[in-house]
Amino acid sequence: DAGITQSPRHKVTETGTPVTLRCHQTENHRYMYWYRQDPGHGLRLIHYSYGVKDTDKGEVSDGYSVSRSKTEDFLLTLESATSSQTSVYFCAITSGTGGFHEQFFGPGTRLTVL
Amino acid sequence: AQSVTQLGSHVSVSEGALVLLRCNYSSSVPPYLFWYVQYPNQGLQLLLKYTTGATLVKGINGFEAEFKKSETSFHLTKPSAHMSDAAEYFCAVSAGNMLTFGGGTRLMVKP
């Protein structure tokens, strides 16, 4: 257990509304990631963070922004949700131990945009 | 840049039969390779990983995978399927601190 929690776990919202998803970790890991999971696409990286206030874009970053004001929290914001952003969102951290780059995942947030 | 291709989005086997899930990758640097498993309504759990050294890697729940550089493959196998193995499996390749995932293979196990 890498001590990762995500909130909310489920959310239904309407097109055009802002949505913020939270990822919280308890083990002071430097790297944090946001992915979305869609059938047939596996997981695709949205944004990642390599430290407080240090973030960068991933493969599918359009329509998403992130913030990391403290080590333990990584927020994903959909400024104006669209139906194409209906997905399951996963947060992950890199353990960083032993030079490996394996990632550990949170339980996910299922977001439905109507 | 790296990419991962998983052949077969759905694989069905009988209980007790061999499980073979295929993964091919491309990477511009020596890769780290991973298999993750996802049970229904759960997050991803690391099944096994290849970093350096022995090319046959053993993981949890009786799974293993072999890194074949010449074939750029990292296929996942298990000699005898159990009903509890029904899940979705993802192959991933790492370069630096970034993971690239394949599209996933859903394994169904028939009694």
Per-residue model confidence as pLDDT tens digits over B41-50: 888 999 999 9
Q: What angle do CA A98, B72, B47 make, to 5 degrees?
A: 45
Q: How far apart are the first and last CA of chain A?
A: 33
Chains A, B: CB contacts under 8 A, how many?
Answer: 52
Residue A12 CA to residue A38 CA, distance in Å, equals 17
Residues of A in contact with B103 (CB under 8 A): 40-42
Cis peptide before A8 (omega within 30 of 0): yes
pLDDT at B65 over 70: yes
Residue A96 binned pLDDT confidence (cut-offs 50, 70, 90): low
Return d(Cα B72, Cα B50) in angstroms, integer: 13
Average pLDDT, chain B: 92
- Judged by DSSP in three states, B70 sits in helix
Contact A90/B43, CB-based, under 8 Å?
yes
**Distances in Å between the alpha carbon of A53 and those of A27, A28, A89, A103, B67?**
18, 15, 21, 21, 37
pLDDT score of B93 more than 80: yes
Query: Is the CB of B104 less than 8 angstroms away from the CB of A40?
Result: yes
With an 8 Å Cβ cutoff, are A107 and B32 in contact?
no
Return the amino acid letter for B73.
Answer: S
Chain B residues inside the 8 Å CB shell of A45: 98-99
In whole angstroms, what is the distance from residue A77 CA to residue A80 CA? 9
Model confidence band, residue A97 (pLDDT cutoffs 50, 70, 90)? low
pLDDT band at A101 (very low <50, low <70, confident <90, very high): low
Reported as a pLDDT band with limits 50, 70 and 90, residue A74 is very high
Distance CA B64, CA B21 (A): 11
CA–CA dist A82, B82 (Å, integer): 40
